[in-house]
Amino acid sequence: MYVDTHAHLFFPNFNGEIEEVLQRAKQADVNYILIPGTDISTSVKAVELAEKYDMIYAAVGVHPHETKEWKDDLIKDIEKISKSRKVVAIGEIGLDYYYDFSPRDIQIHAFRSQIDLAIDLDLPIIVHNRESNTDMMEIAREYALSSLRAHFHCFAGSSSDAKELIGMNHFLSFPGNITFKKADNLRHILKSIPPEYLLLETDSPFMTPEPHRGKRNEPSYIPIIAEKISEIHSVSVDNL
């Protein structure tokens, strides 16, 4: 049994195909899929899909790209949406200094606000981090003695960052980019992370693994990613 911990099935390129996508996932032994929202409207869509399909669960939150118009009142909206029994995390939240679509100080404020909400609700967070390692690690350290539980998806830090985050009892994951020919550094970092601290994700519809690169990604490709991780760690897929 596999779990895809990160798939944005509310994207327009899945419209009209959800049933087929879920059927292919089941055929690939993917039993559960977690859909993280990226703003209020997509969080609502994620919850609607989760309430419609037994195999889907949702996370709710505002992605750093969408924080440029952040207002603290949004916390009340996120909390309201999180009341669904199918919501299991706050996310996708975090920092992104690669695109810088939102001012960095606002990204940080929105991130901290949503972390605090997650702690209050006793929910884990799903973290987006791109080119923001210094600030990301500083914030993680601030919460190291709290009850925070985090999943750092599409891990973009160093081996030392990974070791430190694992020491805080957080989890990490890598999507299909670990199958790319030029991803030797990523595979080196992945090898340094004990498998018991790894989760599986596709990041659908992005990061499609080889040999399907260039096409839309979907949860049924999780076994490809699992096989690559098991190969890197020299363990069987079953053990992984």
| CA gap 175, 226 in Å, rounded | 9
DSSP readout, 111-122?
A: HHHHHHHHHHHT
Q: What is the pLDDT of residue 220?
A: 98
Averaged pLDDT, 34-60? 98
The tens digit of pLDDT for each residue in 14-45 reads 988 999 999 999 999 999 999 999 999 999 99
| CA gap 179, 229 in Å, rounded | 9
CB 207 within 8 A of CB 173: no
| CA gap 141, 150 in Å, rounded | 12
Q: What is the pLDDT of residue 76?
A: 98
The tens digit of pLDDT for each residue in 143-201 reads 999 999 999 999 999 999 999 999 999 999 999 999 999 999 999 999 999 999 999 99
Residue indicated by tokens 């909400």:
117
Count of CB atoms within 10 A of residue 61's CB?
33
Q: Which residues pair with 93 in a beta bridge?
A: 127
Q: To 5 degrees, how large is the angle CA 204–CA 191–CA 26?
A: 35
DSSP label at residue 57? E
φ, ψ of residue 152 in degrees (nearest 5):
-90, 100
Whole-number percent of the chain with pLDDT over 70: 100
Q: What is the pLDDT of residue 106?
A: 97
φ, ψ of residue 45 in degrees (nearest 5):
-65, -40
DSSP readout, 77-93?
A: HHHHHTTSTTEEEEEEE
| CA gap 25, 27 in Å, rounded | 5
Q: What is the pLDDT of residue 115?
A: 98
Mean pLDDT score of the chain: 97
Count of CB atoms within 10 A of residue 80's CB?
12
Confidence of residue 205 (pLDDT cuts 50, 70, 90): very high
Residues counted in the chain: 240
Q: What is the pLDDT of residue 7?
A: 98
| CA gap 121, 84 in Å, rounded | 12
Q: What is the pLDDT of residue 39?
A: 97
Q: What is the pLDDT of residue 98?
A: 93
The tens digit of pLDDT for each residue in 88-104 reads 999 999 999 999 999 99
Q: What is the pLDDT of residue 181?
A: 95
Confidence of residue 85 (pLDDT cuts 50, 70, 90): very high
Q: What is the pLDDT of residue 9?
A: 97
Q: Report CA dihedral (55, 61, 62, 64) to the nearest 10 degrees.
A: -80
Question: What pTM value is reported for the model?
Answer: 0.96
The tens digit of pLDDT for each residue in 100-125 reads 999 999 999 999 999 999 999 999 99
